[in-house]
Structure 1
Amino acid sequence: MARLFHATYCQWRQWRRLSAAPRMAMAHDRQGVRRLATHCQAEVDQHYEEAVQTLNSLQSNAAVLQRIRQERGFTNNVQATEGFLDRVGISLKDLDSLSVIHIAGTKGKGSTCSFVESILREHGFRTGFYSSPHLVAVRERIRINGQPISKEDFITYFWDVYNQLIAKKTSDDDMPAYFKFLTVLALKVFVKEEVDVAVLEVGLGGEYDCTNVVRKPVVCGVTTLDYDHTSILGNTIESIAWHKAGIMKPGVPTFTVEQPLQPSLSVLLQRAKEKQVPLYLIPPLENYGWGARPLQLGLAGNVQYCNASLALQLTQYWMNSQNRGRSGEVVHTATSTSDHLNVPAAIPFTLSDEDVLGLKYAVWPGRSQVMASGPLTFFLDGAHTPVSMQACVDWFLKTAPMHAPQNGGNTFRLLFFNSTGDRDPETLLKLLTSCNFDLAIFTTNLVTTSMKASSDQTNYTISRDQAHLRCEQQRSSWIRLVRNQSKLESESPDHEDTEVDGTTQSEGSERNLNLTSSMPASDVPSIIFPCIQDALVWLSCGRDPNLTGELLTPPAFPPPPRLQEATQVQILVTGSLHLVGGVLGVIDPELRCATHVRNAFNKRPSLTDLVLNNYNKFSSPGTP
């Protein structure tokens, strides 16, 4: 069936080439052109869905993942990835030809990669960028020059890789799992597209991650470390740091940030010594030479300052390494960290215009992002660890008042939450109690309850029953946490009823009791939805034309009057990047928020483009 899909698509591409003349003849007929474009796009969409459905079949199901978590067995994906790459025609020598910047970490690695890619693209280099997870479309994971590869290119590369793997498999289960397949696909795309630089974000850990198949990166980076994926990486920060440091390669410089959790930095330093790797701490962002130019970052939040500085060090070293006339050595000074470790600190440098613009125009949706849609304002942040959630709370409390209605209208504040995997949701929710939400919504990460197998956001790694049970557990935790906080506040000697929107807190409690009189825990307004679409339609109260339709599952109670009458509804979406992606898939399905604002004609051509243009201009056919 896979080969049939690929053959059908190739036949369609051939038909498009052969029918070019007749189609040109129709150009005078605008309606004919529109019909043809619609037909062609429908063909592309159909073949794209077939590819995505086949890709989704490679996902590990919930039972398999549960067994892996229970066994906590480390699978060395590197050797297997090497074998799959060889089967699709990419040798280790081919990989060595890629100029790679490899970045690991728990928090901020995607943002750092985004800064790195944006800076190098501003300098005129042809960039490849591999990241995970995707928010709306799987094509987001593989980017060329800042843009997800087109549906047409995804289809072509996907079937090329898939069919070669199928043809050469030795058993029924001799196929890469979802992430491993996409890693093989991305590396083949970057080799074939001849990118100047490939920016690789580690998927999970580092030591045994599929991306660690790269033997000779130019430079590596390690972002902030925190507790995450503990069922696989271990439940100590030392174990997690050991895995993250696995991307270090002998003689390849590695830059890292000041680590908030000890002794993670000492583990990084020890592994660097074992691997004979020069390790450097980054300087504060404000210490660079900005000149008269303002410090502006395309990504919001104070946490982005260290990510941006890390990106500057990585790009500066990479560009120096590409210029034979410049030294590849890192200018640094001796320093002593807060835990008295002697880790050299990289020296800040004067920024070029390209560096400044790269930081300013970096785009990375779903992280400290604000989107307004009529009376609804979405605050989107995929925080899912304690450190990142605290940063999210700080960002939200600082940013939300800036988006409050200027005419003195009333604001309704709403939490939209889900947490997945082996994370402790109560730890995350406890940090969120300080935001004083009027209502909490808990939902699964399903966009709808009737998702097709060909959807980019289909997820087989958790069953619906498991997902709903987690929502119930998270709601119970939230109710207990809010009650405990209210009890502590009421027992405080400084406590008194304060007026908010014309009512006291005591009156607010009575109002909340009336709000959910048919529900348990009516003093803590909260509700569970089986899917994101239903939750968004319910909370919009029919006031957003983009959020309409019948609810697939009747809710426990109607929207409260204060929600319906609010001048503005502020919705913090957090706890999971998959949840953020699901919300974006509903309110911004084309992911327009991820479109780079820099126009292509303002960009300098990449080095590859310059070489090819000069070759075509001065070479004759057959010239080597």
Structure 2
Amino acid sequence: MDFLEAQNYLEKVRSQKGIVLGLDTMRHLMAKLNNPQDKVKFIQVAGTNGKGSTAAYLTSILLEAGIKVGRYTSPAVFSSTEQYFACGSCISESEYAKGVTAVAEAAASLDGETPTAFEQETALAFWYFAKKGCELAILEAGLGGDMDATNIVTTTVCSIITSISMDHCRILGNKISEIAAHKAGIIKPGAPVICIEQKEDAMEPIRAAAKAADTPLYEVHRDEVRQIFSDKRESIVFFREFENLHLKMLGSCQPENAALAVQAASVLSSSYPIEKKHIYDGIEKTRWGGRFELHSGSPDIILDGAHNPDGIRRLRESVNQMFGAVPICYVCGVLADKDYEKEIEILFGRASNVFTVTPPSPRAMKSTDLKAAIKKRFSQLKVTSFDSEDGIEKAMEAAVSQNNPVVVCGTLTILARVKEWMKRNDRM
């Protein structure tokens, strides 16, 4: 397969088989590939929000320390290759094609089992990390933790649990304690756990899992993370003995994500050559697209992938922090299986107007249906829907013409199309 054929192959698998939790098929698939994951040590990351950003901060720190580090995140936002990072760069298109070919051949040889697209994408990550000789690799759980395909690894040196809230309830449960128990499934014997402060119902299963694994649990409390300055360029954060951490990633959730990475790096420094300078430099150099990503101009444009109530709440905090009482124009598309009614209630109370779009996803809610849902809650708010093939592009044209700050949000799946529009219109 070449690169395009590899992408098409995985999309075909995705269309034929959706989410299937469990580890047996993944174990069988990796055995066919000679278990490359056993050659790498892992840092596992689970949680509802903040996983990708935390992984990005920690990757940057480890790179500064000269460690050969890999990172696997999902889903892809702007390119299939961005999910696979090793030793300073993302996977090349040729390596991607070669890896998908190897994984597809292994999948075809399984007796009566068809791995999902996510399982095969995860297998590609393991294949790639072993090929690149990574000393450490950071694994973001795709869904939950215990039954996620990433959780077959047995060489975990550290587990990180980010903010947990209600999401994927149909699969993970309708109580925060049930969801947290799934996330805590990444905890391994002897591998220290770093966890952001959660609601007590969520902390109980995490503490219980750490105790059962006889491994230390490091809790990062939110009152230990102090943002003392913030503007459109950076924020300055104090966390314990780490004063004046410079964060170029904006948004109200980033100080706690950075603090998790700092705590993880501090714990890992007992086994790896990580110094304070590496932590400071790594935090400052971290970038992660689509997470309160600001493009300054007339008007300013914010790209944010928030897609559940807790993420939307943090987005609202960030917008208020940056723009104050200035009216905001929103371009919004959502997936129909999300809690969009709650997201609408949280976000649009101060909107000047909203342009709804249909995301490029089989799970998409039509822009007209999203408009109706917004009008039901905010009857006086001006809402315009764009439901055509080029609806996202037309919505951006309409939004920037309002000359108020534009916030694009609701799902990660619309951000690639928005960036394409921005490039064509010299807004990058």
| TM-score greater than 0.5 by the shorter chain | yes
1:57 is paired with a residue of what secondary structure? helix
The question of 1:472 aligning with 2:360 is answered no
Q: 1:347-358 alignment to 2 at 5 Å?
A: 352-358=276-282
AA matched with 1:420: L
Aligned to 1:502: none
Aligned to 2:249: 299
User: Structure 1 223/538 Cα, relative in aligned 2: closer, same or farther at 3 Å?
Assistant: closer
Matched residues, percent identical?
26
Partners of 1:84 and 1:421 in 2: CA distance: 32
Q: What is the deviation of 1:298?
A: 2.6
Aligned to 2:95: 153
Q: What is the deviation of 1:86?
A: 1.1
Cα shift readout 1:373-405 (whole Å, capped 9, x = no counterpart): x64432111112222211101111222369x8x
1:296 is paired with a residue of what secondary structure? strand
Partners of 1:477 and 1:76 in 2: CA distance: 32
Q: 1:320-331 alignment to 2 at 5 Å?
A: 320-322=270-272
Partners of 1:570 and 1:236 in 2: CA distance: 36
Asked which structure has the greater CA Rg, the reply is 1
Among candidates 397, 406, 413, match of residue 540 of structure 1 = 397
Among candidates 286, 292, 309, match of residue 259 of structure 2 = 309
The question of 1:424 aligning with 2:322 is answered no
The question of 1:363 aligning with 2:284 is answered no
Partners of 2:32 and 2:135 in 1: CA distance: 24
Partners of 1:203 and 1:290 in 2: CA distance: 31
AA matched with 1:103: V
Q: 1:121-520 alignment to 2 at 5 Å?
A: 121-166=63-108, 168-171=109-112, 174-259=113-198, 261-282=199-220, 284-285=224-225, 286-290=238-242, 294-322=244-272, 352-372=276-296, 375-400=298-323, 413-437=328-352, 439-446=353-360, 459=361, 461-462=362-363, 467-468=365-366, 471-483=367-379
2:107 is paired with a residue of what secondary structure? helix
Q: What is the deviation of 1:106?
A: 0.6
When structure 1 is superposed on structure 2, of 193-202 and 75-84 the one drifting more is 75-84
User: Structure 1 204/154 Cα, relative in aligned 2: closer, same or farther at 3 Å?
Assistant: same
In 2, are the aligned partners of 1:376 and 1:540 still within 8 Å (CA)? no
User: Structure 1 229/435 Cα, relative in aligned 2: closer, same or farther at 3 Å?
Assistant: same
1:181 is paired with a residue of what secondary structure? helix
Partners of 2:394 and 2:50 in 1: CA distance: 32
The question of 1:525 aligning with 2:382 is answered yes
In 1, are the aligned partners of 2:396 and 2:418 still within 8 Å (CA)? no
Cα shift readout 1:533-580 (whole Å, capped 9, x = no counterpart): 333235426xxxxxxxxxxxxxxxxx9xxx74x5x3421111112223
Q: What is the deviation of 1:582?
A: 3.4
2:156 is paired with a residue of what secondary structure? coil
Q: What is the deviation of 1:50?
A: 1.7
Cα shift readout 1:202-255 (whole Å, capped 9, x = no counterpart): 100001000001112001010110000011001110110010000011222111
Cα shift readout 1:284-330 (whole Å, capped 9, x = no counterpart): 24243346xx321131123111111111121222232246xx9xxxx
Partners of 1:540 and 1:397 in 2: CA distance: 24
Partners of 1:440 and 1:262 in 2: CA distance: 36
Q: Please identify runs of 4+ aligned residues in structure 1 that moved more than 4 A.
A: none
Aligned to 1:48: 3
User: Structure 1 244/421 Cα, relative in aligned 2: closer, same or farther at 3 Å?
Assistant: farther
Aligned Cα root-mean-square deviation (Å): 2.5
Partners of 1:295 and 1:322 in 2: CA distance: 21
1:467 is paired with a residue of what secondary structure? coil
User: Structure 1 537/477 Cα, relative in aligned 2: closer, same or farther at 3 Å?
Assistant: closer
More strand by share: 2
Partners of 1:86 and 1:247 in 2: CA distance: 21
User: Structure 1 146/391 Cα, relative in aligned 2: closer, same or farther at 3 Å?
Assistant: farther
User: Structure 1 129/375 Cα, relative in aligned 2: closer, same or farther at 3 Å?
Assistant: same
Aligned to 2:34: 89
User: Structure 1 532/305 Cα, relative in aligned 2: closer, same or farther at 3 Å?
Assistant: farther
Q: What is the deviation of 1:472?
A: 3.2
Q: What is the deviation of 1:95?
A: 2.6
Partners of 1:186 and 1:113 in 2: CA distance: 15
1:365 is paired with a residue of what secondary structure? coil
AA matched with 1:361: K
Aligned to 2:59: 117
User: Structure 1 142/531 Cα, relative in aligned 2: closer, same or farther at 3 Å?
Assistant: farther
In 2, are the aligned partners of 1:58 and 1:178 still within 8 Å (CA)? yes
Partners of 2:374 and 2:173 in 1: CA distance: 27
Partners of 1:535 and 1:76 in 2: CA distance: 33
Q: What is the deviation of 1:585?
A: 4.1
In 1, are the aligned partners of 2:330 and 2:351 still within 8 Å (CA)? no
In 2, are the aligned partners of 1:242 and 1:267 still within 8 Å (CA)? yes
Aligned to 1:451: none
Among candidates 562, 566, 570, match of residue 405 of structure 2 = 570
1:300 is paired with a residue of what secondary structure? coil
Q: What is the deviation of 1:275?
A: 3.0
Cα shift readout 1:28-71 (whole Å, capped 9, x = no counterpart): xxxxxxxxxxxxxxxxxxx321221111111045xx65xx7xxx
1:383 is paired with a residue of what secondary structure? coil
In the alignment, structure 2 segments of 5+ residues that lack a partner are: 226-237
User: Structure 1 234/579 Cα, relative in aligned 2: closer, same or farther at 3 Å?
Assistant: same
Partners of 1:152 and 1:230 in 2: CA distance: 38
RCO higher in 1 or 2 (8 Å CA, sep ≥ 6)? Answer: 1
User: Structure 1 122/478 Cα, relative in aligned 2: closer, same or farther at 3 Å?
Assistant: same
Partners of 1:160 and 1:154 in 2: CA distance: 10
AA matched with 1:394: E
In the alignment, structure 1 segments of 5+ residues that lack a partner are: 1-5, 7-46, 69-74, 327-350, 405-411, 447-458, 484-522, 542-558, 594-624
When structure 1 is superposed on structure 2, of 531-540 and 156-165 the one drifting more is 531-540
Q: What is the TM-score normalised by the length of structure 1?
A: 0.62
Aligned to 1:609: none
Cα shift readout 1:322-361 (whole Å, capped 9, x = no counterpart): 46xx9xxxxxxxxxxxxxxxxxxxxxxxx72211110011
Partners of 2:210 and 2:276 in 1: CA distance: 31
In 2, are the aligned partners of 1:445 and 1:531 still within 8 Å (CA)? no
